[in-house]
């Protein structure tokens, strides 16, 4: 999301709470396509944005995958022929699956992509787990009044830990090792 009024760019990896942030600036962000949503390369290394403030959000990868699973169910999107979370997770983290859907579905690709890759050039990272506190700092940095973040796109699903066994926990640990290391996440 580009905000020319306050000169900031918000980089929103899917399932990191970004729609809540966008809704503060675009009232129908939860019901429409926000321009440039999830399209990161549009902003990097472009002179016209050199004085803009960049920030982004990250989320614990284990929680993010459960959130993405439930989002797909809620939207009635294809589940690739698998019914349960464990089989779905194994399927989507397979390199052949990623390659197959990479060209055809940008949302799928960015939703399962590593957050560290998507946020390469972002200076201020907000952790989903400390969302309001991190967003307050962003407001202070860009000189706007602090605002309370709404909670949109929430799912009623319980703890993400309940969805994993040792094997699937390890799949996420391996697949998102860079995110886990960069952002100091633990299961």
Backbone angles phi, psi at 167, to 5 degrees: -65, -50
Each residue's pLDDT expressed in tens, for the chain with a length of 187 residues: 888 899 988 888 888 988 888 888 887 766 666 655 555 556 656 778 888 898 999 999 999 999 999 988 888 887 878 889 999 899 888 877 766 665 556 566 677 778 888 787 787 999 999 999 999 999 999 999 999 998 877 777 899 999 999 999 999 999 999 999 999 999 9
- pLDDT number for residue 62: 97
Q: Write down the pTM of the prediction.
A: 0.86
Fold entry, domain 2-182: Rossmann fold (3.40.50)
Q: Do 58 and 130 form a contact (C-beta atoms < 8 A)?
A: no
Please state the three-class secondary structure of 120-187 as a single string.
CCCCEEEEHHHHHHHHHHHHHHHCCCCCCCCCCCCCCCCCHHHHCCHHHHHHHHHHCHHHHHHCCCCC
- CB-count exposure of residue 29 (10 Å: 0-12, 13-18, 19+): buried
């Amino acid at each position: 999301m580009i905000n020319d009024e306050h000169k900031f760019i918000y980089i929103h990896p899917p399932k990191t709470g970004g729609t809540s942030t966008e809704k503060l600036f675009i009232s129908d962000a939860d019901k429409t396509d926000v321009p440039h949503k999830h399209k990161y390369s549009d902003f990097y290394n472009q002179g016209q944005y050199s004085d803009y403030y960049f920030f982004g959000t990250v989320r614990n990868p284990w929680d993010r995958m459960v959130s993405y699973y439930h989002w797909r169910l809620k939207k009635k999107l294809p589940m690739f022929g698998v019914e349960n979370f464990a089989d779905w997770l194994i399927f989507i983290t397979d390199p052949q699956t990623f390659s197959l859907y990479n060209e055809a579905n940008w949302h799928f690709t960015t939703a399962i992509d590593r957050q560290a890759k998507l946020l390469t050039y972002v200076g201020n990272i907000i952790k989903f787990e400390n969302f309001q506190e991190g967003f307050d700092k962003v407001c202070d940095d860009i000189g706007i009044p602090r605002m309370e973040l709404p909670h949109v796109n929430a799912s009623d699903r319980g703890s993400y830990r309940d969805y994993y066994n040792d094997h699937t926990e390890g799949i996420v640990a391996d697949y998102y090792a860079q995110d886990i290391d960069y952002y100091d996440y633990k299961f």
